[in-house]
Structure 1
């Protein structure tokens, strides 16, 4: 145990703390702990949604009108085994909120990851080689930034419609593609600027002078040094993309009912106005969305302040 926490320093008899010291420093950061706890709760909710549904016996799209609707047809707020009550169709709000976390993360994480990979390739290529290639990739980035998000999303969704209300491609895949299309540009600019700054460093010039091919210099000298910044920005961009998915679903161009999504749940509560008699129809998905975005924002900010060398402390 002592060997893991202490490592002898060269030229002295006193051991120097290594792993244990770093862990203790991280545990002293309240923002980092708070963000990690909130994100952990959201991830746990998403992972255990099927288990909770199986234990309670309520599926996300199952309807229980006899137990959840009163004599006037209005949904109950709680009781009869429905902790958060039910919506206008007699579906369990709690279960649908938990499944909404799965949808948001299943879209936000792949979309942000794809955007990060595409942006990193574009930024590394343009930043390292420069010249006309860099100018062309920069113009491509500017063109992508010029497209209006909502108009493009509406156009893509319209093109994805088939006959009789069907879709040609799974809506989840379409939403992931739309969000990634508008996210990679930010990663590309970040990576390009980082490469321009680091490629003039002595260790990079030494590798180039030694005859290393460009791909080797990029992968072994440049990428490892900017990878922490890219990963931190991934955590910064993720909550933005989760909000984008919820916004698209709220406007009816994202996840289609009856698949539970926080955006569609909020839209349904407002369209039917049933949140006036059953406020948890609106509070549950909106609160879950707020908590998720808050957790990732707090965690990413704490990580950036701790590990990003460009942040002035």
Structure 2
């Protein structure tokens, strides 16, 4: 058994104390475990959605009015094989909520990753080379920050409309692009400030003095040192982008019905006012969004407090 040897008060010798492994150390953090469990539940829901839909025979856009609407045309709140009841069109709320997790993660993860890659590239170039390059990229960042999010989203969606109400580009791709467009600036500023600090360190100056190329210095000396901070900030930015997607869909400029986005489901429940007789139409997507954002926020906060030295306070 591996561990630490400490003096024993019993026989004056040395006794072995089991070493605390990194995994055990992480599992001892209740907040970290709680956040990981919530995120795991959301991931499981998103991955299992097609399987559960196949088992129940209820697709996310399939309508079952004969089984889910009463004589007055109002949706049921449960029963007849519909765990959370149905919406006003006879669609399974439970299945649509599961698919809503797929939409949120399917947009939030790539949008945040694209923003991270773009922001890291801009921040690295500006922070490392400085001078006019840094001034130009900083000005570009400021210009991007000056654009209003909602107005720009509305403009892009309007430009994406074709004839007869069709769209020129898949709305999912458009939403990913809009969110990434407004997220990269935060990564750029974070990376720029970190690079300016790190490039003054002795090990970077030694690499430059030894004749290493700019590419080698950036790849071998700077990137490994900023990677943990960037990855943690990726986790911090992810729930913000998930809320941004839900907000755009709620306002009608994101994912369009009948695609089951949590934002569109909440908007549909409120517009039809059917949540008064079928409250799960509103509660299910709202809880899904809340659990996702809460889990990501708790997990990213605990990871940042443990691995980001700048947040040690």
- Measured against the shorter chain, the TM-score band is over 0.9
1:273 aligns with 2:282: no
Structure-2 separation of matches of 1:58 and 1:15: 58
Structure-2 separation of matches of 1:218 and 1:31: 35
Alignment match, 2:197: 197
The alpha carbon displacement at 1:17 in A equals 7.3
Structure-1 separation of matches of 2:132 and 2:15: 55
What do residues 223-277 of structure 1 show as CA deviations (whole Å, max 9, x unaligned)?
1001000000000000000000000000000001111000000000000000000
Q: Which runs of 4+ in 1 moved over 3 A?
A: 5-8, 13-18
Alignment match, 1:48: 48
What do residues 14-39 of structure 1 show as CA deviations (whole Å, max 9, x unaligned)?
99977x52222111100100000000
The alpha carbon displacement at 1:311 in A equals 1.2
Alignment match, 2:104: 104
What do residues 153-180 of structure 1 show as CA deviations (whole Å, max 9, x unaligned)?
0000000000011100000000000000
The alpha carbon displacement at 1:58 in A equals 0.5
What is the TM-score when the length of structure 1 is the normalising length?
0.95
What do residues 158-214 of structure 1 show as CA deviations (whole Å, max 9, x unaligned)?
000000111000000000000000000000000000001111001000000000011
1:184 aligns with 2:184: yes
Alignment match, 2:310: 310
Describe how 1:70-219 pairs up with structure 2 within 5 A: 70-219=70-219
Alignment match, 1:34: 34
Structure-2 separation of matches of 1:81 and 1:119: 47
What is the TM-score when the length of structure 2 is the normalising length?
0.95
Structure-1 separation of matches of 2:164 and 2:118: 35
Name the CA shift for 1:29/1:242 in 2 (closer, same or farther; >3 Å): same
Task: State the secondary structure of the residue aligned to 1:229.
Answer: helix
Alignment match, 1:65: 65
Describe how 1:217-228 pairs up with structure 2 within 5 A: 217-228=217-228
The alpha carbon displacement at 1:57 in A equals 1.0
- Count of residues in correspondence between the two structures: 305
Structure-1 separation of matches of 2:78 and 2:68: 8
Structure-2 separation of matches of 1:23 and 1:144: 41
What do residues 4-60 of structure 1 show as CA deviations (whole Å, max 9, x unaligned)?
x6699xxxx999977x52222111100100000000000000000000111111110
Structure-2 separation of matches of 1:7 and 1:122: 46
Structure-2 separation of matches of 1:251 and 1:305: 35
Name the CA shift for 1:56/1:241 in 2 (closer, same or farther; >3 Å): same
Name the CA shift for 1:16/1:187 in 2 (closer, same or farther; >3 Å): farther
Does the CA-based 8 Å contact 2:306-2:312 persist in structure 1? no
Alignment match, 1:289: 289
Structure-1 separation of matches of 2:128 and 2:17: 38
Alignment match, 2:255: 255
Structure-1 separation of matches of 2:63 and 2:290: 27
Stretches of structure 1 lacking an aligned partner (at least 5 in a row) = none
Structure-1 separation of matches of 2:196 and 2:58: 55
Task: State the secondary structure of the residue aligned to 1:310.
Answer: helix
